[in-house]
Amino acid sequence: MRPLVGLLALGLSLPAQPAFALSRIKDLASVEGVRSNQLLGYGIVVGLNGTGDTLNNTPFTKQSLQAMLERLGVNTRGANMRTANVAAVMVTANLPPFATQGTRLDVTVSAMGDSKSLQGGTLLVTPLLGADGEVYAVSQGPVAISGFSAEGEASKITRGVPTVGRIANGGVVEREIDFALNKLSTLRLSLRNPDLTTARRVAAAINDFIGGDSAEPTDPSTVVLQIPPRFKGNMIKLLTDIEQLRVEPDQGARVVIDERSGVIVMGKDVRVSTVAVAQGNLTVTISEQPQVSQPEPFSRGGQTVVVPRTSVKVDTEGGNKLALVKESVTLAELVDGLNALGIGPRDLISILQAIKSAGALQAEIEVM
């Protein structure tokens, strides 16, 4: 391979790079039906070092402990239980698509009662249910937490959240979810960011690869693909080839504003017409500088008192004038024009909303 300097010396030019970014269909869309499912279970964590639930305050923990002991042949009905080493928890996990029996899952354990920490605890066998009420996995194992809590007689320190833990590979899949991907005759691709132009470009890229008109966009978020006869029963090969196709995603002009943090995000297609903007704030500054007044030497009946001294300053920013924001063609020109106003993000939010109301901002404003 010739070095770059040698190519330039020979008068050869490098191939021009596209001005836009191409993305894989794999990153723009997902296959309908290939999805994870949420699992939920109720269990008990034991082995806590006195940081568990208070049984008198959490009756569900006491009832669960008694029911578990009865299944093991221990009768505790009517007994006064005062253990603080047990905590009732909710166990959650995600069942990945095409998970087979015996597949290991990571589970999250969250305290339900007044437990102070799950450190050192062990989750007992807990069935994990799906939305249909069926058991799809079973979890058990030692709980690992990232936070901790320590306290003494007059001080307490807490880092992180000690009442939420995780068990790596703590769940085992017991039931599979049937989904015959290879037997489908029609495939639906769901765009993660719905857009008519992007859906059309995805369908065009697939048709150019396969040949014919097998793919067709039905709405801004869905592209329907009719499986060609040569790919019948070989859906994996078709999907792996389609995922690597690259298209240019399109997006609508949008300005996203988070008023709480003052964050402003603008898309590359945001445009503004020529508009004049004036901005001014009324700032009132009040400062207190109290002074101590002492009596004269050898005076009788004199007292030392604090005399208040208040300074009030009003700034109307009278020097601010109209600033012209010229019509922009690119996002960089728009940013330069707004920066020329010399204002902060908080004031810029109000200005953008005012420009939109004036009809000079060709973009949608979304306030988070």
Name all domains of the chain by residue range, CATH numbers in brackets: 37-150+158-173 (no CATH), 181-247 (3.30.70), 255-289+307-367 (no CATH)
Residue 196: pLDDT band (50, 70, 90) is very high
DSSP string, 68-120: HHHHTT---TT------SEEEEEEEEEE-TTPPTT-EEEEEEEE-SS-S--TT
Residue with structure tokens 């993000």?
345
Q: Read off the pLDDT of residues 159-173 as tens digits, 9 standing for 90 and up.
A: 778 899 999 999 999
> Cα angle at 165 between 163 and 169, to 5 degrees?
165
Q: Which of 29-33, 134-138, 293-297 has the highest mean pLDDT?
A: 134-138
pLDDT(216) > 80: yes
10 Å Cβ neighbour count for 366?
Answer: 11
More reliable by pLDDT, 354 or 111 = 111
With a pLDDT cut of 90, the percent of the chain lying above it is: 34
| Residue 207 tokens, joined | 């048709």
Q: Evaluate if residue 121 carries a pLDDT over 90.
A: yes
- Please give the C-alpha separations between residue 13 and each of 2, 18, 30, in angstroms, as whole numbers: 12, 15, 39
Query: Residue 358's pLDDT is what?
Result: 84
Q: Which alpha helices (DSSP H) does the chain contain, by range?
A: 4-9, 25-28, 59-71, 196-210, 235-243, 331-339, 345-357
What would the mean pLDDT of 34-44 be, rounded to a whole number?
93
Give the three-class secondary structure for 47. Answer: coil
Q: Which two tokens stand for residue 228?
A: 């060609």
Vertex 218: Cα angle to 214 and 224 (nearest 5): 35
CA 193 → CA 30, 47, 203, 221, 225, distances in Å? 11, 47, 15, 7, 19
Q: What is the mean pLDDT of residues 102-131?
A: 94
| CA distances from residue 88 to 53, 61, 107, 217, 244 in whole angstroms, order as listed | 7, 5, 15, 49, 47
| Residue among 115, 95, 126 nearest 48 (CA) | 115
Count CA atoms within 13 Å of residue 246 on its CB side: 5
pLDDT in tens, 219-252: 999 999 998 888 887 888 888 889 999 999 988 8
Average pLDDT, the chain: 81
∠ CA(225), CA(182), CA(187), 5° rounding? 15
CA atoms within 13 A on the CB side of 358: 14
Q: Is 90 exposed, middle or buried (0-12, 13-18, 19+ CB in 10 A)?
A: middle
Percent of the chain clearing pLDDT 70 (strictly above): 81
Q: Residue 31 is encoded by which pair of tokens?
A: 């296959």
Type and span of the H or E element at 58: none
Q: How far is it between the farthest Cα atoms of the chain?
A: 113
- Give me the torsion for CA of 33, 38, 39, 43, rounded to 10°: 170
- Residue 310 pLDDT greater than 90, yes or no: no
